[in-house]
């Protein structure tokens, strides 16, 4: 074959790839139960990966500016986020149930049923956020103390913590509304919502933290103000889209009435998702409590490394969300074999992506953490954490897709049991033994995380191959 023919062929492939990307983010609707599976994965995954990349920007932007206030301010963010992971667990778990039910109804060609699910999810999210806000505001000081914060951290961060809990509705509703859009296949719109919300956060973050221009200098509290304004705007944009009637799911007043049958069905599917993340996040809380024994530098390093990991990890989570949507819609269309084929296609793409990212984390751990901090203690702990966890990225790639496939099918019980075994019965005891008994300190905790997550991936893959998830009724 001549060089001219090779060049022409490469040019055609490049044009097709660019056209596919444009189509995926254009917002036009597709039937994901028909046609090429690889094409369906990419059309859904590209906007979902971009959406999740932007979700991680919330964390990275905040920690980038807050680190300039010193380890105490960074510790405030890390400890508050550790407590808020329980709220994230509820939001993500309920979002999983919402995505699974909306996707199944769309696959069944029941758009009205999908809208009823969305309406009940909104009411449940509001109820939970009110309870969390009240408890968080009233007991903010006690929560930080329980997490091991010293008096300096508490005094610095009490307002930040109260604001983050007080605005919990923005966290829950942003997760839930974007879960509705993803389940319906409107991934491009979910992406736009998060991009706009993040751009607002990126601009306002340094303004409120450092008092730029007409803005007040609020220190670490400013990070909470900017984040909540950005998320709140995202909620309003998602609601506007769903109410305007431009997509598959259109919210009307009738859908917002309390419907116990739909609500109970949503809770039945969501409870497994909530429990699996509560198990995972409560494990994280215990882990950061162990790390806190080694001082603010260790907490700040751990927090910084995890934020970097989130930045690289959430695009892969976007790909797993695409797999969940494809599983739900294809099971609703009575095409279980296509659902399974979609999972394996997404897994291949995810492994290729995360293995590449993991290699970068292993080789360039210290320079990456150095972007966010110049403090020697924080830098050393952060680099050690990022390097150790990066060794398991290939396993995480498989685990992310397969676990989300279970959830997309409505089988949230299986991942719950797997999380219980791998996090509570393996990760926590192992972290304690490595850090305390064998005196490895924080690196022992980091190693326990990598081992437990890799074990979860292998176990999930083995169970998934048995195929019982195809029979899940939602």
Residue 352 in domain: yes
Residue 289 in domain: yes
Residue 457 in domain: yes
Residue 13 in domain: no
Residue 180 in domain: yes
Residue 18 in domain: no
Residue 17 in domain: no
Q: pLDDT tens track of the chain, all 474 residues?
A: 555 555 566 677 777 778 777 888 877 777 888 888 888 888 888 888 777 776 666 666 777 888 888 888 888 888 888 788 778 888 888 988 999 999 999 999 998 999 999 999 999 999 999 999 999 999 988 888 887 777 888 888 889 999 999 999 998 999 899 999 989 888 888 889 988 988 898 899 999 999 998 999 999 899 999 999 999 999 999 999 998 877 788 888 888 888 888 889 898 888 888 888 888 878 888 898 899 888 888 988 898 888 788 777 777 888 898 899 999 999 999 999 999 999 999 999 999 999 999 999 999 999 999 988 888 889 999 999 999 999 999 999 999 999 999 999 989 899 999 999 999 999 999 999 999 999 899 999 999 999 999 999 999 999 999 988 988 767
* Count of domains observed in the chain: 1
Show the domain range for 328: 33-471
Residue 91 in domain: yes
SS (H, E, C) the chain: CCHHHHHHHHHHHHHHHHHHHHHHHHCCCCCCCCCCHHHHHHHHHHHHHHHHHHHHHHHHHHHHHHHHHCHHHHHHHHHHHHHHHHHHHHHHHHHHHHHHHHHHHHHCCCHHHHHHHHHHHHHHHHHHHHHHHHHHHHCHHHHHHHCCCCHHHHHHHHHHHHHHHHCHHHHHHHHHHHHHHHHCCCHHHHHHHHHHHHHHHHHHHHHHHHCCCCCCCCCHHHHHHHHHHHHHHHHHHHHHHHHHCCCCCCCCHHHHCCCHHHHHHHHHHHHHHHHHHHHHHHHHHHHHHHHHCCCHHHHHHHHHHHHHHHHHHHHHHHHHHHHHHHHHHHHHCCCHHHHHHHHHHHHHHHHHHHHHHHHHHHHCHHHHHHCCCCCHHHHHHHHHHHHHHHCCHHHHHHHHHHHHHHHHHCCCHHHHHHHHHHHHHHHHHHHHHHHHHCCCCHHHHHHHHHHHHHHHHHHHHHHHCCCHHHHCCC
pTM across the whole model: 0.81
């Amino acid at each position: 074959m001549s060089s001219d023919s090779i060049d022409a062929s490469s040019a055609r492939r490049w044009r097709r790839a660019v056209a596919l990307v444009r189509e995926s983010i254009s917002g036009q609707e597709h039937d994901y139960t028909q046609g090429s599976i690889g094409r369906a994965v990419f059309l859904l995954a590209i906007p979902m990966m971009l959406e999740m990349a932007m979700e991680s920007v919330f964390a990275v932007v905040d920690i980038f500016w807050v680190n300039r206030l010193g380890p105490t301010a960074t510790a405030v963010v890390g400890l508050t986020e550790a407590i808020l992971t329980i709220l994230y667990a509820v939001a993500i778990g309920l979002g999983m149930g919402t995505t699974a039910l909306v996707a199944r109804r769309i696959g069944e060609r029941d758009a009205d049923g999908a809208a009823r699910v969305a309406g009940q999810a909104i009411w449940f999210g509001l109820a939970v956020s009110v309870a969390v806000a009240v408890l968080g505001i009233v007991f903010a000081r006690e929560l930080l103390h329980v997490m091991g914060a010293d008096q300096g951290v508490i005094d610095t961060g009490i307002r930040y913590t109260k604001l983050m809990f007080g605005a919990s509705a923005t966290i829950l509703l942003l997760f839930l509304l974007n879960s509705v859009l993803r389940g319906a296949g409107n991934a491009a719109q979910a992406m736009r919502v998060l991009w706009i919300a993040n751009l607002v956060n990126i601009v306002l973050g340094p303004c409120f933290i450092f008092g730029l221009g007409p803005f007040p200098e609020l220190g670490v509290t400013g990070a909470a103000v900017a984040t909540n304004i950005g998320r709140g705007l995202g909620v309003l944009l998602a609601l506007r889209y769903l109410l305007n009637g431009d997509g598959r799911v259109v919210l009307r007043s009738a859908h917002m009435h309390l419907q116990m049958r739909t609500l109970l069905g949503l809770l039945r599917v969501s409870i497994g998702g909530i429990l699996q993340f509560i198990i995972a996040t409560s494990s994280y809380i215990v882990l950061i409590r162990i790390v806190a024994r080694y001082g603010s530098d260790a907490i700040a390093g751990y927090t910084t490394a995890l934020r970097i990991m989130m930045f690289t990890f959430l695009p892969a989570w976007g790909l797993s969300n695409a797999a969940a949507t494809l599983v739900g819609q294809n099971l609703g269309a009575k095409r279980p074999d296509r659902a399974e084929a979609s999972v394996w296609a997404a897994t291949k793409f995810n492994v290729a992506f995360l293995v590449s990212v993991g290699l970068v984390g292993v080789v360039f751990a210290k320079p990456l953490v150095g972007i966010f901090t110049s403090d020697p203690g924080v830098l050393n702990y952060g680099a050690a954490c990022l390097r150790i966890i990066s060794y398991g990225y290939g396993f995480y790639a498989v685990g992310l897709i397969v676990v989300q496939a279970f959830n997309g099918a409505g089988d949230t019980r299986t991942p719950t049991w797997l999380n219980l075994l791998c996090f509570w019965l393996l990760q926590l005891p192992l972290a304690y033994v490595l850090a305390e008994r064998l005196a490895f300190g924080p690196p022992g905790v980091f190693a326990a995380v990598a081992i437990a997550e890799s074990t979860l991936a292998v176990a999930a893959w083995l169970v998934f191959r048995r195929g019982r998830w195809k029979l899940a009724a939602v």
